[in-house]
């Protein structure tokens, strides 16, 4: 509804002015006309009032009798109808209806000429008593409160229990409210306010405190301006205040709950032919949209600007379907906040047809960016996993396919080298040796590749047992002697650790040693050395260390050396290799519940340390929680 025309015009003020006018003039019909005119200004449209006779006929009409009829009842029967404008009527006209009922009753009595000259006030008081309202008059010259008997009865007192002076009445007012009550009257007496009005607590005879709304106006003054006579009304508003307090507390509880909800609660209204508006949004609105609260609630265009066009079209189509069928509205859309950040939001709402042409949605909007990102990450991970499985399967198949013909090539090469019936010449021997060495190197690479694919696919099976690592290292060094002699590299195994046993797979442990020793020889320099040492680590585990005096590895390349097919600075060198050996080494050590560390300095050499669980070692200490 439209707001009041004047900020000071309220339903309570309209009722007060009508009653005071009737008390001063004694003309009920004129008081009703005054009230009706003020109500039309408050509603922003024409309104009417009809009075019903005893048999129900329309006896008196003021203003148009069309629109929304609202019954006006008093003293147990219907007295007439209040005709409101065609627009939606206000939520409550309770403060005005008792006054209209009293004046209609008075007007009916005047028209029938059944009221005695001194019976007007009594009849009006009887009508007001039905709404816990009474009138009063205060003569300041003799400090006499007239017509307060109804007010005393309202508070449970007999007429002779309380005096009729202002001091007598003040003794019923709560001590904390006395000063404010006196101040309200003094401001009116000084001309600062049009009427005197104050709400205070008055003590009921049973001891409880009742809330009283008191209004009045100075109707007569002395020649020097001093107040002489004041008339007014008093209403028991205890139940109304309790209802208002309960409603306020409910709203506060809702706001408290809404503050704990991560998203935004909202209510949206759409009126046919008038567009829509966001009637309520919780305090989380700014956090959701990245906009000020005033923009979110009062200016929907500000919200639309942060939503891309294609998402707005999707929202609009879903909204039209919900408005037509009253199905739940659900939609996910993106917003670009003023700081440039993109977020994903999810909205849902339940519609309700409030009146003809008015639909209301109650809903919730939440930020689901993290969920969307997680779903995208899972989808990307699934795609990557599928691609990795396809790659692993392809490499495994190719490795098997390559090994068969390669073994045949190596076998025939060896047969030609030892053919006594038709021995090859010296040149042919040299070329056959090159073919065999290249084939063996290729076979090793294929073996490493096959191992890598088995590890990645989880198909590498290990057989754990106590392994004497010092003895295994000595055997492996002997296997590498010929390669070390060709490379002019010295190899030695330091004493110590002969009795240490590792919990490992013997075959895979030998493979780890061969990979590390092969690299130590391959990337060494003529006259260099390789040192192998076995010892107990500070934490109780066992360490196998392979150190060389070779080329070394630069710091930026260290994080990459264990990645497949990464050879760092040696990628374009003449040194043979595919960058698979260290990847297989780290994967095998990890499968044996160990880890590999490397320390290197270019031009000085590298040191690879393999840590493995030691047989007989105490379990590692549990971290405190």
For residue 293, the domain's CATH number is 3.30.450.20
- Is there a single domain that holds both residue 400 and residue 542? no
> Of 367, 383, 398, which closes a domain?
367
| pLDDT at 122 (0 to 100) | 53
Positions in the chain whose pLDDT score sits under 70: 1-9, 24-25, 54, 75, 86-91, 110-132, 258-260, 292-301, 391-392, 395-401, 403, 437, 440-441, 445, 448-449, 452, 456-457, 459, 565-579, 617-625
Q: Please report whether residue 194 resides in a domain.
A: no
Q: Please report whether residue 252 resides in a domain.
A: no
| pLDDT at 625 (0 to 100) | 39
Structure tokens at 143: 């400090």
Mean pLDDT of the chain: 80
Q: Measured between alpha carbons, how far is 30 from 23 in angstroms, rounded to an integer?
A: 12
| pLDDT at 423 (0 to 100) | 84
Looking up tokens 């795609």 gives 383
Residues 14, 19, 22: CA angle, nearest 5 degrees:
125
> Of 84, 113, 131, which closes a domain?
131
| pLDDT at 131 (0 to 100) | 58
Q: What are phi and psi of 477, to 5 degrees?
A: -60, -40
- Is there a single domain that holds both residue 337 and residue 388? no
Q: Please report whether residue 448 resides in a domain.
A: yes
Whether residue 39 contacts residue 45, with contact meaning beta carbons closer than 8 Å, is answered with no
Structure tokens at 180: 């404010």
Name the packing angle between helices 506-522 and 581-591 (round to 10°).
150
> Of 131, 161, 176, which closes a domain?
131
- Is there a single domain that holds both residue 477 and residue 605? yes
- Is there a single domain that holds both residue 539 and residue 602? yes
Its pTM surpasses 0.75 = no
- Is there a single domain that holds both residue 569 and residue 444? no
Report the b/e string of 149-180 with b at 16+ CB within 10 A: bbbbebbebeeeebebebeebeebbeeebeee
For residue 439, the domain's CATH number is 1.10.287
Q: Please report whether residue 625 resides in a domain.
A: no
Taking alpha carbons only, the member of 577, 509, 569, 520 closest to residue 542 is 509
The residues near 360 (Cβ < 8 Å, ≥ 6 apart) are 267, 268, 269, 270, 279, 351, 352, 354
Q: Measured between alpha carbons, how far is 469 from 145 in angstroms, rounded to an integer?
A: 113
Q: Measured between alpha carbons, how far is 11 from 14 in angstroms, rounded to an integer?
A: 5
- Is there a single domain that holds both residue 438 and residue 488? no
- Is there a single domain that holds both residue 49 and residue 93? yes
Q: What is the pLDDT of residues 214-273, one digit of tens each?
A: 999 998 888 888 998 898 888 888 888 888 888 777 777 777 776 667 788 888 888 877
For residue 108, the domain's CATH number is 3.30.450
Range of the domain at 125: 1-131
- Is there a single domain that holds both residue 452 and residue 490? no
| pLDDT at 127 (0 to 100) | 53
Number of folded domains in the chain? 4
- Is there a single domain that holds both residue 315 and residue 397? no
Q: Measured between alpha carbons, how far is 463 from 508 in angstroms, rounded to an integer?
A: 9
Q: Please report whether residue 165 resides in a domain.
A: no
For residue 518, the domain's CATH number is 3.30.565.10
């Amino acid at each position: 509804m439209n707001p009041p025309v004047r900020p000071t015009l309220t339903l309570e003020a309209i009722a007060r002015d009508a009653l005071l006018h009737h008390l001063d003039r004694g003309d009920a019909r004129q008081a009703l006309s005054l009230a009706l005119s003020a109500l039309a200004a408050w509603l922003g449209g024409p309104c009417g009032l009809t009075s019903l006779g005893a048999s129900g006929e329309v006896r008196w009409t003021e203003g148009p009798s069309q629109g929304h009829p609202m019954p006006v009842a008093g003293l147990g029967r219907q007295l007439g109808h209040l005709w409101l404008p065609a627009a939606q009527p206000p939520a409550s006209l309770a403060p005005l209806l008792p006054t209209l009922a009293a004046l209609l009753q008075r007007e009916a009595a005047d028209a029938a000429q059944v009221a005695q000259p001194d019976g007007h006030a009594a009849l009006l008081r009887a009508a007001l008593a039905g709404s816990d309202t009474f009138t009063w008059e205060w003569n300041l010259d003799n400090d006499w409160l007239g017509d307060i008997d109804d007010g005393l009865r309202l508070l449970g007192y007999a007429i002779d229990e309380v005096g009729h002076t202002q001091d007598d009445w003040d003794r019923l007012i709560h001590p904390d409210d006395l000063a404010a009550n006196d101040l309200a009257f003094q401001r009116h007496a000084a001309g600062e306010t049009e009427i005197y009005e104050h709400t205070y607590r008055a003590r009921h005879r049973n001891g409880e405190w009742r809330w009283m709304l008191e209004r009045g106006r100075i109707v007569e003054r002395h020649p020097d301006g001093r107040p002489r006579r004041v008339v007014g009304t008093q209403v028991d508003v205890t139940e109304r205040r309790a209802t208002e307090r309960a409603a306020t507390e409910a709203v506060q509880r809702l706001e408290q709950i809404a503050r704990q909800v991560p998203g935004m609660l909202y209510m949206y209204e759409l009126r046919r032919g008038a567009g829509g508006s966001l009637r309520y949004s919780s305090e989380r609105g700014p956090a959701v949209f990245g906009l000020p609260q005033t923009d979110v609630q009062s200016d929907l265009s500000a919200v639309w600007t942060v939503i891309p066009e294609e998402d707005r079209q999707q929202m609009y189509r879903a909204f039209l379907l919900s408005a037509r069928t009253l199905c739940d509205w659900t939609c996910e859309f993106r917003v670009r906040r003023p700081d440039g950040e993109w977020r994903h939001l999810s909205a849902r709402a339940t519609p309700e047809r409030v009146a003809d042409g008015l639909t209301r949605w109650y809903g919730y909007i939440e930020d689901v960016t993290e969920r969307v990102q997680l779903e995208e990450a899972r989808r990307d991970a699934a795609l990557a996993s599928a691609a990795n499985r396809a790659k692993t399967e392809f490499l495994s198949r190719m490795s098997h396919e390559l090994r068969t013909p390669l073994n045949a090539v190596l076998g025939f090469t060896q047969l030609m080298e030892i053919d006594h019936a038709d021995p090859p010449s010296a040149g042919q021997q040299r070329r056959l040796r090159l073919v065999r060495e290249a084939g063996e190197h290729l076979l090793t690479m294929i073996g490493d590749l096959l191992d890598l694919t088995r590890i990645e696919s989880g198909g590498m099976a290990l057989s754990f047992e106590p392994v004497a690592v010092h003895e295994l290292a000595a055997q492996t060094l002997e296997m590498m002697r010929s390669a070390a002699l060709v490379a002019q590299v010295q190899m030695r195994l330091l004493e110590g650790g002969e009795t240490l046993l590792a919990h490992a797979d013997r075959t895979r442990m030998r493979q780890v040693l061969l990979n590390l020793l092969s690299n130590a020889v391959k990337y060494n320099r003529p006259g260099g050395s390789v040192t192998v040492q076995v010892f107990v680590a500070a934490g109780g585990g066992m360490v196998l260390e392979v150190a060389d005096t070779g080329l070394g590895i630069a710091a930026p390349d260290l994080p990459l050396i264990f990645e497949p097919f990464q050879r760092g600075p040696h990628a374009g060198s003449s040194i043979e290799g595919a960058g698979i050996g260290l990847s297989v080494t780290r994967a095998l050590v990890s499968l044996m519940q160990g880890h590999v560390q490397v320390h290197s300095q270019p031009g000085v050499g590298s040191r690879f340390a393999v840590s493995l669980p030691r047989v007989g070692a105490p379990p590692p200490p549990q971290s405190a929680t």
